[in-house]
Amino acid sequence: MTVRIPRSSGRKKGVSPGQPTKHDSKICGRKNVRNMEKFPPDFPMGDVQPGLCLDNSVFNVLKEHSMREEKQSQRHHEKKEHSTQEHVLDPKTRLMLFKMVDSGKLGEVNGCLSTGKEAAVYHAEGGGELEDGTPVPDECAIKIFKTTLNEFFRRDKYIKEDYRFKNRFGKQNPRKIVRLWAEKEMHNLKRLHSHGIHCPKVVLLKKHVLVMSFIGKDQIPAPKLKDSQLTQDQLKSAYHQCVQTMEKMYNDCHLVHADLNEFNMLWFEGRIYIIDVSQSVEPSHPHGLEFLLRDCKNVSTYFSKKGLAETLSHQDLFNKITGLGISAVDDQEFLTQIRAYTQRQQLLDVIYDKKEPYPFDFFFEETMSSRQDDSGSIGVDVKRGKKDLNESKSSESNEEEVLSEKEEETDSDSTDED
C-alpha cells in the first residue's frame, strides 16, 4: 500500500494565495526605507521620496557602512576629548582651570611656558585664596600632566617600587596613573620645602593639574641652569649649592632626585631651584642608589665641562653624599658594589622584618599630655601606669627565674641522694 504525502504549497496555514506576507519585496523595501531613519544624523541619505523601496542587499550594505562610520567618529571623538597635546588642553582640563578661575583661586591663565614629554607648564595670575584661607601667590605655575602618554608605563619603576604608592599602582588606565605621578610630585615638593630646599611651593592639586608658586618675575620664568650665563664665581656658587642640596635631599629629606641635571635646575636671584621631582624616590628604593650615582654623574659632567676646577668626580661626589666610602677601579665595579650593598640592605630588612613604626603610642601620649592642663595629671598617670605595668612584667619574669632555679636545685639534690 502506497501512501501519498501531500505536496507543500510554500504557504503557511491559514494564508490565502493572494495575501501579502512579510517577505513581500514591496513591504520589505518600504520597511527598509523607514529603518534608514535610525541611521546616525550625520549619515548622508539624501532625499527619500515617498513610496521608495530599498532592496535588502542594498539596505544591509548601507547599514554596515553607517555602523562603521559611527564607530570611527566615536574613536576620533574619544581621542580628541582625552588627549593633552603640546599647547592644547582637553575639554575636561579646560573646565578644571575655568573652575579655578571662577572660584577666585586664580585670576587668569596665560600662555604656555614650557612643554616636555610628561607635562606642559602654564603661567597663571593668582592673588586669591583657597578654601582654608591660605593666600595664593601673585604668580603661579600650572603643571598639567599629559593624560595619554605611554611614557609613564615605561617609567613605572619610579613609582611601582615606592612603598608610598606601590599598592596603588596596578592595572589602571593612563589617567589614573598620571594622577599618581602628580600626587607623587606634590608630596616630594612638600617634603623638600619643609626641609628648606629651594623649590616651587605647592598651592593645590586637582587630579592631574598641579598648581605651584612661580619661579620668576613678571611672567618671565627663571632660566634653566643649562641656559644661564654664569660667571666663574656664580658657577662656583651654583656647584656648591647643588652639592649641598643633594646632601640635604639624601640625608634630611630621604629622597633621591633620580633625574637631576642642568635641565631640572633653575637659576634665579643667585640661587639654585630644584624642579621636576615626580620621579624622585627614597634611598631605600631598589634602584635608589643607582639613581643617585646617575645624578652625581650628570652634575659632575656638566660642571666639569664648564671648566670648574673644584668639580668632584661622580664617585667622590657619591661617597660624599652617602658616606659609604666605596672604592673601585672603574665605573662597572663601582656599580657592582652599589648593587651588592643594596641587596645586603634588603636582605637585612627581610631578616629583621623592618617595618615602619606604627605611631599610635606616640600620638596617644601626645594627646594625653596635651590634656594635662585640663585634667591635672592624666599624662602623668598614663606614664605611671605604663611604668607599673613594665615593673610588674619584670617582677613576674624574675619570679619565674627564681622558681626555675629552685626546681633545678631540688633535682640536683635528689640525684645526689640516689
Which tens digit of pLDDT belongs to each residue from 243-272? Answer: 999 999 999 999 999 999 999 999 999 999
- Same domain assignment for residues 114 and 148: yes
Interval 171-193 mean pLDDT: 82
402 within some domain: no
- Same domain assignment for residues 186 and 205: yes
- Same domain assignment for residues 247 and 212: no
Mean pLDDT of the chain: 78
135 within some domain: yes
- Same domain assignment for residues 198 and 264: no
- Same domain assignment for residues 266 and 188: no
Looking at the chain, the whole-number percentage of residues with pLDDT higher than 90 is 43
- Same domain assignment for residues 118 and 213: yes
Question: Strand, helix or coil at 119?
Answer: strand
Radius of gyration of the chain (CA): 37
- Same domain assignment for residues 214 and 98: yes
What is the reported pLDDT for 54? 79
Q: Render pLDDT for 315-333 as a digit per residue (tens, 0 to 9).
A: 999 999 999 999 998 999 9
How many C-beta neighbours within 10 Å does residue 183 have? Answer: 19
- Same domain assignment for residues 229 and 331: yes
Q: Which three cell numbers stand for residue 328?
A: 673601585
Which helix (DSSP H) or strand (DSSP E) does residue 266 occupy?
A: strand 265-268
Range with top average pLDDT, 25-39, 164-178, 321-335, 339-353: 321-335
What CATH number is attached to the domain comprising 260? Answer: 1.10.510.10
Q: What DSSP state is assigned to residue 4?
A: P
> Given a cut of 80, is residue 94 above it in pLDDT?
yes
Q: Considering 155, 188, 219, which residue would you say is the last residue of a domain?
A: 219
Which residues, listed in sequence order, are joined to residue 271 by a DSSP beta bridge? 268
- Same domain assignment for residues 104 and 210: yes
Q: Is 92 buried (19+), middle (13-18) or exposed (0-12) by CB count in 10 A?
A: middle
Interval 100-121 mean pLDDT: 89
What is the reported pLDDT for 389? 47
206 within some domain: yes
Give the residue from 257, 256, 275, 253 showing the smallest Cα distance to 265: 275
- Same domain assignment for residues 122 and 155: yes
The torsion angles phi and psi of 122, rounded to 5 degrees, stand at: -120, 155
289 within some domain: yes
Q: Render pLDDT for 272-282 as a digit per residue (tens, 0 to 9).
A: 999 999 999 99
- Same domain assignment for residues 335 and 230: yes
Give the DSSP letter string of 154-196: HTTHHHHT-TTTGGG-SS--HHHHHHHHHHHHHHHHHHHHHTT
80 within some domain: no
Q: Considering 186, 219, 252, which residue would you say is the last residue of a domain?
A: 219
Which residues are tagged catalytic? 259
Q: Which three cell numbers stand for residue 211?
A: 598648581
Residue 169: domain span? 91-219
- Same domain assignment for residues 115 and 157: yes
Name the domain count of the chain.
2
What is the CA 227 to chain-centroid distance, rounded?
29
238 within some domain: yes
Q: Considering 171, 192, 219, which residue would you say is the last residue of a domain?
A: 219
| CA torsion through residues 84, 87, 91, 92, sign | positive
